[in-house]
Structure formats: C-alpha cells, structure tokens
Amino acid sequence: MIKKNEPFNKRLSYAFRGLLAIWQKEASFRIQIALSLGLLFFCLAVRPPAIWCGLFTCAVITVLTLEIVNTAFESLLDKFHPEYDPQVGFIKDCLAGAVLVASIGSVLIFIFYLRTEFALESIDQLFGLH
C-alpha cells in the first residue's frame, strides 16, 4: 500500500510494478508497446522532422496511458462487481472506446505524415492501389 510522503524511489518502484503487472496481464498493452518501439525505430531510421516525432510521441503516450487507465478500471470493476451488470459493461465499453479512439487518432497522424512527406494525393496511393 502506498503511503504518503514515502521516498521518491519507493513511489517510483510502485509505478514500475504496475507497468510490469500490466505487461504481464494485457496482451493489448504488449502489442501497443511493440508498435511503439516500431515507430521509434522508424523515427530513428527515417528521421522525420521533429514536429512529427513530437506528434508521434504524444499519440503513443496517449494510447498507452489510456490502456493503463482502462486496465486499472476494469480490474477495479471486476473486483467489486464480479457479476454481469449492464452499467459496468457500459463503463468498460466506454473505456475500451477511449483506447480505440486514441489508437485511430495515432494511425491518422501517421497517415497524415506519410501524405505530407511523400506528397501522396490519396490513401489509395499510400497502399499502392493506383
């Protein structure tokens, strides 16, 4: 249990313990981390302008943070309301929807980058459909 005014390194260890628990429990978090690392390697290899790297970073942080919050709330709801309840289902769906919206936004940012940097006229060109 976290206590007030504990040393910073102790509080930091709780945060890392939480991240490790999410890593172990949530396949979606592991996939999001893998995609984030792929984006990092892309940025290191291609060297997009700093503004795009900043946008990518904000998008990644948003998705990962929402996934952490989603996991925490789902665990809390499961603990205190293990049986099915439509309101609990609604809350879980809303949390999952928040992660989905952020994920779609992240993909759109990357598509906008590709369109800008490679002067693509349409999404069809992006995927070689023209």
* Of 65, 42, 64, nearest in space to 113 by CA: 42
The CATH number that applies at residue 26 is: 1.10.287.3610
Number of folded domains that form the chain: 1
Whether residue 3 is contained in a domain is answered as no
pTM of the full predicted structure? Answer: 0.84
Here the tokens at position 3 are 């206590």
Q: Model confidence over 34-83: pLDDT tens digits?
A: 999 999 999 999 999 999 999 999 999 999 999 999 999 999 999 999 99
Q: Which domain holds residue 83?
A: 8-126
Contact by Cβ (8 Å): 83, 127:
no
